Structure 1
């Protein structure tokens, strides 16, 4: 530990207990190292800033997106993160990279920010990456809608400006056994499944044993420039392979701008920092090639989920 402390500046030691490990913020590291994601966001920011402007970055993390915005000509960037030690580290990183005069880091939720009090004025551009494996789990819809109404100028550009969600049915005894139990050593343990979450879990499904059982279905489309209401839609999956359906797996595309998309789909040449969201069925279902399976897809401001019709 002494060697670690020797490598830190006094400011870094003051900004956080060096005994705190990355356990509190593990998701940041895959994101920071995702070059496909980074390049796409930088491309969109460069295009948005061709005539300059001010930027609001919701979810500071390391400050990477804010520094990209500064590099491409933003006159002022306000970024916020509600995790204190993350916000403090973003201040150190942005200052170390020479942007202390351009990037203002605030340790608050974006929904508590007040233009003219917390930062100079409403911003011309919003950039954010507060999306989890299931798209909505980090309250992205709430934050974006609030920003559009209270933190941005009229006709501000949003990065991303929308998202599309896709899904398919899969067979995967491996994933199922990670979250469910049936008969073990001759004993019925299925009552223990009451403690299992019926929400989604994140998987890179190509790393798990599985079989696709259906065609890919389009589920939802979100336009972040408009208010979003809770929605339920009937989805018909065309079954392409016979098998035991354990789960619905879904993923999304982020539309950063009209020319730039990030996909969290499986089977891409390079794995995304985001995994696919897998929702297990309460009980596995036998599916036969050629038939259809009807489910109802729902979303509110926090999650997407599926039920039998």
Structure 2
């Protein structure tokens, strides 16, 4: 029999004894978190031990180097790009100033870094309930909020918003719903179910919603890095059989594709009135320019009220990317007519071209 190469977890009493023995030694504490707790699936406990170790000796570079992979594991890199989207922040600040000119309580769903909650307080919110279901992100947001002097006006709750209860977590339904659990396709982070629940239970009838509307746009495009995303001839060998196994969609930067058609609005999501999002299908006729068509680029245009628009294809956008959807590659002559199709089930989206 071949021996199992995987490390075996140590029994719980022995683990606790070792943790007690290294208490007060930051490097040893982090090493135990890494080798004992992570190995047995106790990720949250491992993170807690790391934080305790760093609190004992904040300047300990070795302990910090060992702790970083544990503390950052599973934390989305998008937090660090979204927080740099200064134009988006400016647009939301203007929209919030309009909505909160007379104060009000804000429910912030998908609070993430806490930036929008703090912008809401700056805009005049009397209090913000910031809901962030990842407890580690929520903890970092709480620390940032306290550092900036907003802890008395922002309550961070590390739970899914569908677990919130009026009378326990909120004194009464909120006046404004601010939500940011968004994906490049609008739906992928589960906003349909979240918004339906919030509208039914957690906000006042007619409460303002920000963002209240988003258009989903798509166009036929040329992938400028197509050779990196598909197989063709490799050293004289035909490898195209593998292309059916490549990823069906991926995020793509604006400078990595060229439009082969004007964009079309396939879906217009209006969530301002609280009506639930339903599965839908749509199609639009496209006229192509000359060139290779590799797929479909899809992006969003948010409407924040009073003419404020945030288009995720704009050059200075950091919070979102266009989503590239693979199609069969073909060469288009000028004026080629195709039909662009889209469908969604309130969570996933699909796009294809019909020639």
Give the TM-score category using the shorter length: 0.7 to 0.9
Please list, as runs of the form range in 1=range in 2, the aligned pairs for 1:160-239 lying within 5 A after superposition. Answer: 160-174=211-225, 176-198=226-248, 200-206=249-255, 208=256, 210-224=257-271, 225=273, 226-239=275-288
Distance in 2 between residues matched to 1:254 and 1:191, nearest whole Å: 39
Shift of the 152–178 alpha-carbon distance from structure 1 to 2, 3 Å rule, reads: farther
Pair 1:40-2:91 in alignment: yes
Instruction: Give 1:303 shift.
Output: 2.8
Instruction: Give 1:279 shift.
Output: 0.5
SS of residue matched to 2:243:
helix
Pair 1:284-2:323 in alignment: no
Equivalent of 2:143 in 81, 92, 106: 92
Q: Which residue number corresponds to residue 107 of structure 2?
A: 56
Instruction: Give 1:18 shift.
Output: 4.7
Q: Which residue number corresponds to residue 156 of structure 1?
A: 207
Distance in 2 between residues matched to 1:59 and 1:203, nearest whole Å: 24
Distance in 2 between residues matched to 1:91 and 1:211, nearest whole Å: 42
Is the 8 Å Cα contact of residues 67 and 94 (structure 1) preserved in structure 2? yes
Please say which structure displays the higher CA radius of gyration. 2
Is the 8 Å Cα contact of residues 138 and 156 (structure 2) preserved in structure 1? yes
Deviates more, 1:215-224 or 1:184-193: 184-193
Q: Which residue number corresponds to residue 129 of structure 1?
A: 180
Equivalent of 1:256 in 304, 307, 328: 304
Q: Name structure 1 gaps, 5 residues minimum.
A: none
Higher relative contact order (CA 8 A, sep 6+): 1
Distance in 2 between residues matched to 1:28 and 1:80, nearest whole Å: 15
Please list, as runs of the form range in 1=range in 2, the aligned pairs for 1:5-16 lying within 5 A after superposition. Answer: none
SS of residue matched to 1:61:
coil
TM-score after normalising by structure 2: 0.77
Distance in 1 between residues matched to 2:124 and 2:194, nearest whole Å: 25
SS of residue matched to 2:347:
coil
Instruction: Give 1:44 shift.
Output: 0.9
Pair 1:27-2:72 in alignment: no
Is the 8 Å Cα contact of residues 84 and 318 (structure 2) preserved in structure 1? no
Distance in 1 between residues matched to 2:308 and 2:258, nearest whole Å: 30
Instruction: Give 1:230 shift.
Output: 0.8
Q: Name structure 2 gaps, 5 residues minimum.
A: 1-25, 28-50, 60-66
Q: Which residue number corresponds to residue 102 of structure 1?
A: 153
Distance in 2 between residues matched to 1:233 and 1:305, nearest whole Å: 11
Instruction: Give 1:136 shift.
Output: 1.6
Equivalent of 1:145 in 190, 196, 200: 196
SS of residue matched to 2:92:
helix
TM-score after normalising by structure 1: 0.88
* Structure with the larger strand share: 1
Shift of the 99–227 alpha-carbon distance from structure 1 to 2, 3 Å rule, reads: same
Distance in 1 between residues matched to 2:76 and 2:353, nearest whole Å: 35
Is the 8 Å Cα contact of residues 173 and 246 (structure 1) preserved in structure 2? no
Question: How many residues end up aligned between the 2 structures?
Answer: 295
